[in-house]
Structure 1
Amino acid sequence: MKSMRNVRITLAAADERYIEPFLLYARTGEFAKRVSVRAFSQLDAFLAAMAAERPDFVLGEPAFLTPWLQGEGSRGVPWAALDGGEAENAALGGTVLHAFQPLNRLLTAVLDLAGTAQSAGSASQAGAQIIAVHSAAGGVGKTAVALNLAKQLGGRGQRVFYLNLETWDSAASFRAAGSESGLPGLLYELRTARENGEACRSPLSRHAPFQEKLKSLSFPPLERPDELLQMSEADTAGLLDYLATCGACDVIVADTDTEDHDRCRALLRRADRVLWLLADDLLHLRRTAGWMNHREARQPAEFYDLIGRSVFAVNRCGGRLDNVLPRPDLRPLAFLSYIPSWKALSREDVLLGSPIFQRDILALCEQLGLGGSRRPPPASAPYAAAAATGGAS
């Protein structure tokens, strides 16, 4: 797992009573491994420091930003203003963030803006890796695996986005609602940008808050599934491309239905890795093999490309397999433990707090190489050859 370089933030605010809790939270909270903050309450000290160094991001009150922005040293340094008076904000003309919003939201917005600026300034920067958690049959614990995967990666310092594309969102209770516009607002902006032939430049923090339970960004739950049901394959692909390239994420953990609809098809085509969950159950394995046989016969090139990006894991495993795997390419990379206490689940923290399952998920993360290059390793030779020729080699 690669270590993420801290984002160097310079904070400029006149009131030390604002600076002190900000620094304490940044140095001891969940962002401690992701940011380093220098703070100034005196204008002269701030300007002298900015003349001597270039931080990754500047967050300051207009009284500090105005003289700094008039100098040469501000060029190329992304910044945002802490909300002052309307006249001051209008004169600056840049992004304005509310100073007294919860600090986790404020720092998430800062990291979002800093990441977007770095992405725009470097054409060679790789985007986020998209991990699709998939199964050919329901009831295998797909959402539980996706939630734990997102939480464990987020807890290890990765910038994670948990994307739930299920028609009936089984993870809604793990995500808090907020003032952000959510998925509907972002889809509207993406469609508008696409119709105008432009790139969507809306910051992700405008649409998705940081979800403390998951240690990840995620859209607030939808009140109704209408927006999801109306999503086309192009809408889903555009959403995934935006999330992967907006600069705010390292990893996207995506969870969708087992049904063959536009959202699922777009995710399986766009994902860098497909974590394919299996159950040690004869009927489940037969259904999985049937799905694979059908796809291989009808769409061989697409099927071999998919399998080349797939890894298989057996969930709810008691330690050994009781059934024979029906296809030779169903080779499990990992075995995730069966947690008996989940059968009588009454508290959400139990689902995300099993030490045994956390151990298994962390081992799976290492095996997947999450946090490395966005593109997965090359497909195995037989699948690569089959994908190139449109059939089995």
Structure 2
Amino acid sequence: MAKRVVLAISHREYAAKLAEYLREEETGWDIGVYTHGSALRKELQNNAMVDLLIGQADMLLEAGTLCDRAGKVISLVKQKGMVDGRWQEIVQYQPLPSILSGIRSGMAANQGGSTSGCQVVTVFSASGGVGKTTVALNLIRQAGERGLRTFYMNMEALNATSLLFGKGEPDSLSRLLYALQAHPEQWDSLLEQLCRHQPQLRTDYVDAPDHPGERLALTPELMEALLEKFRNMGRYDMIVIDPDSGAGEWHRRLLDLSDRVVWLIADDAQGLMKSEKLLRYWQAHISEKISKLSFVLNKAIGGGLINQWNLPGEAPKVVLPYIPQWKTIDQPGRLLASPAFSGAVEQLLLGLEIGGNSPSVRRRREEGHGNQRSHVRGAG
């Protein structure tokens, strides 16, 4: 059943723009738009099925106690504090993805937010250049197509994701980590400010930093606290972590905390030996959790391994083809343009068994099935 959402915004052009964006991003919402207070009051008086009311502070205050008939009320304000805590507040004049992110956050908090449906998938390799970021982004896109709500977190010490997402706010992760330690009460509002949305990939994310300092200084304890924060939001079904290929303690702890680990390998003798050595180094910690590891052959030419397989278990069942054109890619949409690669990633996602059959995910998939967008909005 569609969720009844009412927008109460006096500025017609802004109301139409926001309504169009929400219809594209939340295909299961039945959205009504009201630009006059009298029309809003009539709607609230006559319709007992308003699940979510999003409106300008002055229009909501004018409607008064009628707003209580809506299941959830969110006030669009010029600055925080305009409605004295009566309703959740979201700053109105900011990028539309940020507004949607705030709406989703508020709805999750209203429902109590369960962590049971949120799973962490780490895309890892023992050596660089294997294609972790490309696989992670394709995995996220496939998950979005299946109705999963995703968050992408790049944890590489040196990354080039600004080529795909733009410069953005390069201090985002540093600020979140600092708030987590020094001002935890401010963390949620800070994330709402820094979180961005990439519509082609259908994922939320925060900008990766330009400098490697916080990655190099990251501790296992801080990594665990960060992941728990995201899990406890009740906002995502799947968090995809894209770390570098280090062998530090926080890398090992990340693998411990992950529900699934996609361990990428290439058909390269040196790379395979590095994976073998790293697994042996971590053996005492990983041996009992080896079942969560899925070895995946990436950049395959031909379809199978030439080199000898000495890693635990069988040789990789999932093989991702080499796409030479991607060496010059600088836009995320082009990383999604290979049917052969997308099909192989779809098989990988099915094998991971990440929440694809939960009732809420099935509903979102059914509501969004066949929805094709005629245009793409930029990140942020």
Question: Is 1:241 the counterpart of 2:228 in the alignment?
Answer: yes
Question: Is 1:96 the counterpart of 2:95 in the alignment?
Answer: no
In structure 1, give the amino acid aligned to 2:122. Answer: A
* Partner residue in 2 for 1:167: 157
| SS of the residue 1:119 aligns to | coil
- Alignment partner of 1:189 out of 169, 179, 192: 179
- Alignment partner of 2:275 out of 288, 303, 306: 288
* Partner residue in 1 for 2:361: none
C-alpha separation between the residues in 1 aligned to 2:51 and 2:312? Answer: 49
In structure 2, give the amino acid aligned to 1:79. Answer: V
C-alpha separation between the residues in 2 aligned to 1:206 and 1:117? Answer: 19
| SS of the residue 1:321 aligns to | coil
| SS of the residue 1:275 aligns to | strand
- Alignment partner of 1:314 out of 256, 273, 297: 297
Q: Is the 8 A contact 1:127 1:245 kept in 2?
A: no
Deviation at 1:338, TM superposition (A): 1.4
* Partner residue in 2 for 1:357: 341
Q: 1:154 to 1:90 in 2, by over 3 A?
A: same
Q: 1:23 to 1:106 in 2, by over 3 A?
A: same
Greater Cα shift, 318-327 or 246-255? 318-327
* Partner residue in 1 for 2:56: 61
Q: 1:70 to 1:305 in 2, by over 3 A?
A: farther
Q: Deviations over 1:189-232 (max 9, x none)?
A: 211356xxx79543632222113453311111313222222322
* Partner residue in 2 for 1:209: 196
C-alpha separation between the residues in 1 aligned to 2:166 and 2:297? Answer: 30
Q: 1:304 to 1:261 in 2, by over 3 A?
A: same
| SS of the residue 1:214 aligns to | coil
C-alpha separation between the residues in 2 aligned to 1:337 and 1:193? Answer: 45
Does 1 or 2 have the higher relative contact order (CA < 8 Å, sep 6+)?
A: 2
In structure 2, give the amino acid aligned to 1:11. Answer: L
Q: 1:56 to 1:368 in 2, by over 3 A?
A: farther
How many residues are matched? 355
Q: 1:66 to 1:154 in 2, by over 3 A?
A: same
C-alpha separation between the residues in 1 aligned to 2:290 and 2:320? Answer: 20
Deviation at 1:313, TM superposition (A): 1.1
* Partner residue in 2 for 1:387: none
Q: Is the 8 A contact 2:37 2:63 kept in 1?
A: no
Q: Is the 8 A contact 1:256 1:263 kept in 2?
A: no
Q: Is the 8 A contact 1:166 1:255 kept in 2?
A: yes
Question: Is 1:145 the counterpart of 2:135 in the alignment?
Answer: yes
Q: Is the 8 A contact 1:174 1:214 kept in 2?
A: no
In structure 2, give the amino acid aligned to 1:303. Answer: I
Q: Deviations over 1:111-169 (max 9, x none)?
A: 2222232234xxx5624211000112222211211122123323444221110111001
In structure 2, give the amino acid aligned to 1:362. Answer: E
Question: Is 1:130 the counterpart of 2:120 in the alignment?
Answer: yes
Percent identity between the two aligned chains:
28
* Partner residue in 1 for 2:241: 254
C-alpha separation between the residues in 2 aligned to 1:372 and 1:363? Answer: 13
Question: Is 1:268 the counterpart of 2:262 in the alignment?
Answer: no
In structure 1, give the amino acid aligned to 2:203. Answer: S
Q: 1:266 to 1:170 in 2, by over 3 A?
A: farther
* Partner residue in 1 for 2:368: none
| SS of the residue 1:65 aligns to | helix
Q: CA RMSD in A?
A: 3.0
Q: 1:294 to 1:266 in 2, by over 3 A?
A: closer
Q: Is the 8 A contact 1:204 1:246 kept in 2?
A: no
Deviation at 1:81, TM superposition (A): 1.6
- Alignment partner of 2:98 out of 93, 105, 108: 105
Question: Is 1:333 the counterpart of 2:329 in the alignment?
Answer: no
- Alignment partner of 2:7 out of 6, 11, 17: 11
What TM-score does the superposition give when structure 2 sets the normalisation length? Answer: 0.82
Q: Is the 8 A contact 1:26 1:36 kept in 2?
A: no
* Partner residue in 2 for 1:80: 74
